[in-house]
Amino acid sequence: MNKPLPSRFGHSACPHDCPSTCALDVELLPDGRIGRLRGAPDNSYTAGVICAKVARYAERIHHPDRLLKPLQRVGGKGEGNWREIGWDDALDLVAEQFLKAEQMDGPEAVWPYYYAGTMGLVQRDGINRLRHAKGYSGQFSTICTNMAWTGWVMGAGALRGADPREIAKSDCVVIWGTNAVATQVNVMTHAARARKERGAKIVVIDIYDNATMAQADLALKLRPGTDGALACALMHIAFRDGTADRAYLDRYTDDPKGLEAHLATRGPEWAAAITGLSVDEIESFGALIGRTQRSYFRLGYGFTRQRNGAAAMHAALSVPTVFGHWQYEGGGAFHSNSDIFGLDGSLIQGAALRDRDTRFLDQSRIGAILTGDREALSGGPPVTAMLVQNTNPANVCPEQRKVVAGLRREDLFVAVHEQFLTDTAKLADLVLPATMFLEHDDIYRGGGQSHIVLGPKLTEPPETVRSNHFVIEALAERLGASGKPGFGMSERDLITDLLERSGVETDFGSLIEEKWIDKGIDFEKAHFIDGFAHENGKFRFRPDWTGTRAPNRPPSSLGPQGPHASLSAFPDHVETIEGVDEDHPYRLATSPARQFLNSSFAETPGSRKREGTPALMIHPDDAAREALSEGDVVQVGNQRGDLRLAVTITETVRPGVLVHEGLWANSDFLDGEGINVLTGADPVAPYGGAAFHDNRVWLRRS
């Protein structure tokens, strides 16, 4: 028998925090390195397409700056002096510091802090097992999805919607508040098919002419934070012109008559004044979706990163409901499929170990928390020890000055488990080197689609790096938690347990062959034909903003978040955004960069080359008024801080609006502070979250 040839391609899932969760074919080179990554052609959502930054993964996994050894701080925090230490000593040190913190102030003084650097369910969520086993402070994860998910569920009752593959069967694809070309390229694959095969129109609603706007047949560039007004005008047109589906409304919605009356004063002129769009633009959009049954609304996160974001999502979602688009294949709306998977990760997360009385701390308010704000600490002890995995708070979190000041506290011990020496790792007491996704086993599930995808270990990690799972298990042993349920198991065992508990009829071994499972739901359920997911089966035009049906409700220990009363009874334009004033004449959005993924890839040469340098986009009229020329450095600031940036003068932004695409490392800025110096951590109504694109600022020549 001939020896089988070594397989040249392995199968995996993209681990990054992107709604696409692409199924990947990974080229495995004979020398043990990886080559090119491709989208799996046989996965019906990925359809052979992935983004360029992940296709170039070789430059991330084999990056010369990758962390390889545990490093202990020598000298002051952030001074940049390190000594290498062995893994055992490093883990002993973390355990010693955690026990010390616990002895001094109780277990809630320890705050394990994480997010979605990897979306793998084992490597991402295992930190919660240790948290719960030890009674450490909880994390209320608010940074990304709160406003969007809350707004959606207030209307539809559950986080699911029309299958995104149906976009290919749509006659009008509305891409609302998501820069899909950059942030989830697969939406465009399916939209392009609809255009090519059916002549579908593509409508894009954003605040600047980004790469997705460039694909639009109808490009609507509105003022930031005014999407609720546009939504109202579209629904006004529907009632006015008889394109509202009244039979559908009577059957499927809570109060169509009340809505119609409420919208009577919210027509195109009213919305034009608020949004900055022309009456013509609003009318032609209203007419287009009024004559197109198969209108598909792909609602993104971007437009919800405003202080009225939850209300904006609810208002936008109400539009296809008024027109009745839900009833047709290729019509309706979609934001996230998070509710369809039914995955039970309770063993991974140590859910049974959780003490319900333990306090939660708001992830987005880490700055206030670490600088000792009593209210943010829920009246409990200060945080004096942290393990940070999968996130880079010194860069990505709002109120960056406070975050950095907190991380610099001498009485705070911080261990950062990372792949690179990030802004956060630079401020740590101890840095632990982490594996990358091709070097460990994990399982992933889509948010923007319907697959569960396996990501088995395909290559050997460098000898001295360790997975998140390893670190959690090793700490559990040292902290006396290892005998508890969920500990002492391999990644594979945890994955098999997860599948079993969730009633998925496969196991790790079989999934290696199957690669993924499509959990897509049938048309009736996806389109809410059998009713919306509230008790009475009706879509709610009148949300219960204080109600219990919200996916991101804060734990009760945090108390009420944000001012519910500021939200309206019906879809509306809500005036809670950080409006301009005499001292702050500009609105700033901090939109994602195409070649970065949050703060990841800001270290890879291919992405850096294509992104250039950090910049502030400004309209020519504003530049003229400020007497600025291309490349001039300005100081931009507000009540939270200020920084210097070079300007790019461009008509892609509206007058009065500034856009900075990021996230660049803090060290890439002229003064070593990043864009989040300008963003706020005040919890957005009704359930918290950070309004990253909602900042008023002043501007000065530097």
The CB-side HSE value for 350 (13 A sphere, CA atoms) comes to 30
Quote the least distance from Cβ 87 to ligand MGD, whole Å. Answer: 14
The answer to whether 579 touches 696, Cβ cutoff 8 Å, is yes
User: Does residue 392 interact with ligand MGD by CB under 6 A?
Assistant: yes
Quote the least distance from Cβ 653 to ligand MGD, whole Å. Answer: 9
Contacted by 34, from ligand SF4, ligand MGD, Mo ion, none: CB < 5 to 8 Å by type: none
The answer to whether 45 touches 449, Cβ cutoff 8 Å, is yes
Q: Which residues contact 513 (CB under 8 A, 6 or more apart)?
A: none
Q: How many of the chain's residues bind ligand MGD (CB under 6 A)? A: 59
Quote the least distance from Cβ 50 to ligand SF4, whole Å. Answer: 4
**161-180 mask for ligand MGD (x: CB under 6 A)?**
----------------xxx-
In the range 138-177, which residues lie near Mo ion by CB under 5 A? 144
Task: For residue 28, say if its preceding peptide bond is cis, omega within 30 degrees of 0.
Answer: no
Q: Which residues contact 145 (CB under 8 A, 6 or more apart)?
A: 301, 336, 551, 552, 689
Quote the least distance from Cβ 244 to ligand SF4, whole Å. Answer: 36
Contacted by 300, from Mo ion, ligand SF4, ligand MGD, none: CB < 5 to 8 Å by type: ligand MGD
Nearest to ligand SF4 of 54, 658 (CB atom): 54
User: Does residue 596 interact with ligand MGD by CB under 6 A?
Assistant: yes
Tell me the C-alpha distance between 262 and 266, whole Å.
8
Residue from the set 21, 139, 598, 604 that interacts with ligand MGD by CB under 6 A: 598
Contacted by 14, from Mo ion, ligand MGD, ligand SF4, none: CB < 5 to 8 Å by type: ligand SF4
User: Which has the closest alpha carbon to 288: 246, 256, 249, 320?
Assistant: 320
Quote the least distance from Cβ 445 to ligand SF4, whole Å. Answer: 12
User: Does residue 600 interact with ligand MGD by CB under 6 A?
Assistant: yes
Residue from the set 102, 209, 227, 441 that interacts with ligand MGD by CB under 6 A: 227
User: Which has the closest alpha carbon to 687: 20, 22, 77, 149?
Assistant: 149
Angle between helical axes of 121-134 and 491-501 (0-180°, round to 10): 90
User: Does residue 338 interact with ligand MGD by CB under 6 A?
Assistant: no
**184-203 mask for ligand MGD (x: CB under 6 A)?**
x-------------------
Residue from the set 389, 568, 648, 666 that interacts with ligand MGD by CB under 6 A: 389
DSSP type of residue 351? G
**125-144 mask for Mo ion (x: CB under 5 A)?**
-------------------x
Quote the least distance from Cβ 448 to Mo ion, whole Å. Answer: 11
User: Does residue 593 interact with Mo ion by CB under 5 A?
Assistant: no
Contacted by 185, from ligand SF4, ligand MGD, Mo ion, none: CB < 5 to 8 Å by type: ligand SF4
Other Cβ atoms closer than 10 A to 360: 17
Contacted by 558, from ligand MGD, Mo ion, ligand SF4, none: CB < 5 to 8 Å by type: none
User: Maximum Cα–Cα distance for the chain, whole Å?
Assistant: 81
The DSSP-derived string for 637-670 is: EETTEEEEEEEEE-TTBPTTEEE--B---GGGST
Other Cβ atoms closer than 10 A to 375: 11
Contacted by 497, from ligand MGD, Mo ion, ligand SF4, none: CB < 5 to 8 Å by type: none
Tell me the C-alpha distance between 194 and 478, whole Å.
56
User: Does residue 361 interact with Mo ion by CB under 5 A?
Assistant: no
Quote the least distance from Cβ 592 to Mo ion, whole Å. Answer: 9
In the range 649-678, which residues lie near ligand MGD by CB under 6 A? 662-663, 675-676
User: Does residue 400 interact with ligand MGD by CB under 6 A?
Assistant: no
Quote the least distance from Cβ 663 to ligand SF4, whole Å. Answer: 14
Q: What is the CA radius of gyration of the chain?
A: 25
The answer to whether 115 touches 334, Cβ cutoff 8 Å, is no
Residue from the set 10, 39, 112, 117 that interacts with ligand MGD by CB under 6 A: 117
Quote the least distance from Cβ 116 to ligand MGD, whole Å. Answer: 5
The answer to whether 660 touches 590, Cβ cutoff 8 Å, is yes
Quote the least distance from Cβ 674 to Mo ion, whole Å. Answer: 16
Interacting residues toward ligand SF4 by CB under 6 A:
14, 16, 18, 20-22, 50-51, 54, 184-185, 597
User: Does residue 224 interact with ligand MGD by CB under 6 A?
Assistant: yes
The answer to whether 499 touches 506, Cβ cutoff 8 Å, is yes
Residue with tokens 């209307």: 155
- Beta partners for residue 643, in sequence order: 636
The answer to whether 311 touches 171, Cβ cutoff 8 Å, is no
Stretch that binds ligand MGD, among 232-240, 563-571, 583-591, 620-628 (CB under 6 A): 583-591
Within 105-165, strands assigned E span 110-114, 138-140
Distances (CA, A) of 534 to 252, 528, 541, 544, 545: 11, 11, 12, 11, 14
**469-508 mask for ligand MGD (x: CB under 6 A)?**
----------------------------------------
Distances (CA, A) of 253 to 501, 504, 524: 35, 34, 16
Within 358-429, strands assigned E span 360-362, 385-389, 413-418
What is the contact surface with ligand MGD in residues (CB under 6 A)? 17-18, 115-118, 123, 143-144, 177-179, 182-184, 205-208, 210, 224-225, 227, 300-303, 305-306, 389-392, 396, 417-420, 422, 434, 468, 589-594, 596-600, 662-663, 675-676, 679, 692-693
